[in-house]
Structure 1
Amino acid sequence: MSKKINSLFIPLRVNFRKHGPEIAEDVFYRFHPATLNVGSEICVFCKVQKKLTKEHVLPKWLFQNKTNIGFEIEVNQQSIPYIKSVVPACENCNNSILAEIEKKIIHILENLEKNEYYDDNDLANIIRWLEILEYKLQVFSTRLKYIKYANEPFSEFGTLPVSWMNHFWEMKPFKALSNIKFTQRNISIKDKSSRLNSLVIFSTKEPHFEFFHLPTQYIFISFPMYNNALFYFFRKRFENFEEPRAEAIEIMKKILD
């Protein structure tokens, strides 16, 4: 089981080491109005242009195919259903790699709920999966067009991607490109042993789905079908399990209460 899921991450690591910068720049510039002669869409995982499919940012099994929930884009007050939130991925990356990874992650989550056997490798693979989710979130926001507020005086704001606008007021729009490259680098690193303390696993009393994240900082997901939840810090490292758990609880209280 462990060997099978571990091998699935290899092509993703190889592709990002080889094509990561090109993919990141294509994602970043493709929807900018100043970009001319835009080429054909590419798979955001391997760069190929053939047999592209739509890969959901959050897996449909995670939000249980519900059509009435989705992303609330605070920067321009958009509401995008999860079911319509997708990124381009080739048939092989989508069906032969990402879908198979999710099957193995589901099995690990089931074991967590039942308190059955799991080891550090299982936890490392959860981290790898969460890093893939973060990457898809980064790509999605960079492909999403900013819709200006009513009566906004600067009409050109409506031509930029949402991810650019997230950093616009700091005058750091290229931070969006930096974030994409950061998530690619995370995925390309095989060894996750130093990251295990950054993953916090919670048991949930009432079945519910909840999701929030702060780009390149943390992500939280609760699984109604497994009565557990995950909180992961993408950048921070901790010396023990207690410190990240306490910090995660404080963040959850501020956001969920």
Structure 2
Amino acid sequence: MSKKINSLFIPLRVNFRKHGPEIAEDVFYRFHPATLNVGSEICVFCKVQNKLTKEHVLPKWLFQNKTNIGFEIKVNQQSISYIKSVVPACENCNNSILAEIEKKIIYILENIEKNEYYDDNDLANIIRWLEILEYKLQVFSTRLKYIKYADGPFSEFGTLPVSWMNHFWEMNPFKALINIKFTQRNISIKDKSSRLNSLVIFNTKEPHFEFFHLPTEYIFISFPMYNNALFYFFRKRFESVKDSHAEAIEIMKKILD
């Protein structure tokens, strides 16, 4: 099992090392209103243009195909259902790589739920999967238009991507591009041993779905089919899981209470 799932991440690492900057810039500039002569869509994982499919940002099994829940976008107070939140991926990346990774992650989560054997390699693969989710979130927010704030009129910034508007007050829309490249770089790094203490696994009182994240900083997922949840810090490193657990708890209190 370990060898099989490990091999699935190899093409993603290779693709981002080879094509990462080109893919990142395509994603970043494609929906900018000043971009002219936009080329054909590309797979955001390997750059090919053939047989593109729609890869869900969050896997459908995670939100159980529910159509009435979705992302609440703070910068414009809009929402979009998870079922409609997709990014372009070629047939091979979607079905032969990402879908297979998810199957293996489900197996690991089931073992954790049953208190059966899992090791550092399993935890590293959970981290790799969470990095892929973060990448899809980054890509999606760069493809999603701002449109307007709440119920207000159409904004003069309406055609700009949400990811650009996230950094409006910083006057640094290019931070969205930096974030995409940062996440690609994380995915391209094989060794996750120094990141293990940044992953926290919680037991929950009952299975339920909960999700929140801060771009390139952290992600939290509670699983609707298991009595556990994951919290992962994308940047911070910790001396021990006890330290990361304490910080994760503080963040969760602020967001969930």
- When the two structures are superposed, what TM-score results if normalisation uses the length of structure 2? 0.98
Cα 1:242–1:143 change in 2 (3 A) is same
Instruction: Quickly say closer, same or farther: Cα 1:150–1:222, change in 2 above 3 A.
Output: closer
Query: SS at the partner of 2:61?
Result: coil
Aligned residue number for residue 121 of structure 2: 121
CA distance in 2 between counterparts of 1:212 and 1:92 reads 29
Q: Give the match for residue 52 of structure 1.
A: 52
More deviation, 146-155/186-195: 146-155
**Shift in Å at residue 149 of structure 1?**
2.7
Q: Deviations over 1:189-228 (max 9, x none)?
A: 0000000000000000021100000000000000121110
Structure 2 distance, partners of 1:237, 1:155, is 40
C-alpha distance in 1, partners of 2:199/2:151? Answer: 43
Instruction: Show structure 1 runs of 5+ residues with no match.
Output: none
Partner of 1:12: 12
Give the C-alpha shift of residue 155 in structure 1: 4.5
With over 3 angstroms needed to count, the CA separation of the structure-2 counterparts of 1:151 and 1:253, relative to structure 1, is closer
1:103 is matched with: 103
8 Å CA contact 2:147, 2:154 repeated in 1: no
Percent identity of equivalent pairs:
93
- Pair 39,33 (structure 1): closer, same or farther in 2 beyond 3 Å: same
Kindly state the Cα deviation for residue 77 of structure 1 after the two structures are TM-superposed: 1.3
Residues 208 and 150 of structure 1, relative CA distance in 2, 3 Å threshold:
closer
Deviation at 1:156, TM superposition (A): 3.1
For 1:159, what is the secondary structure of its paired residue?
Answer: coil
Distance 1:231 1:239, change over 3 A: same
| CA offset digits 1:14-56 (Å, max 9, x no partner) | 0000000000000000000000000000000000000000000
Offset of residue 143 of structure 1: 0.1
Do 2:131 and 2:187's aligned partners in 1 also have CA atoms closer than 8 Å? Answer: yes
The alpha-carbon deviation at position 150 of structure 1 amounts to 7.1
* C-alpha distance in structure 1 between counterparts of 2:67 and 2:212, whole Å: 18
What SS does the aligned partner of 1:158 have? Answer: coil
Cα gap change, 1:151/1:197 in structure 2, threshold over 3 Å: closer, same or farther?
closer
Counterparts in 2 of 1:153 and 1:9: CA distance versus 1, 3 Å: same
Identify the residue that residue 182 of structure 1 maps to in structure 2: 182
Separation in 1, partners of 2:153, 2:143:
23
How many equivalent pairs are there? 257
Matched, 1:171 2:171: yes
Structure 2 segments unaligned to the other structure (5+ residues) = none
SS in 2 for 1:167: coil
Structure-2 change in CA distance of 1:124 and 1:157 (3 Å): same
Aligned residue for 2:153? 153
**Equivalent residue runs for 1:191-210 within 5 Å:** 191-210=191-210
In structure 2, the CA distance between the partners of 1:168 and 1:116, relative to structure 1 (3 Å rule), is: same
Q: CA deviation at 1:241?
A: 1.2
SS at match of 1:62: helix
Partners of 2:150 and 2:107 lie apart in 1 by: 47
Pairwise CA RMSD of aligned residues? 1.3
SS where residue 54 of structure 1 aligns?
A: strand
Give the drift of 1:153: 9.4
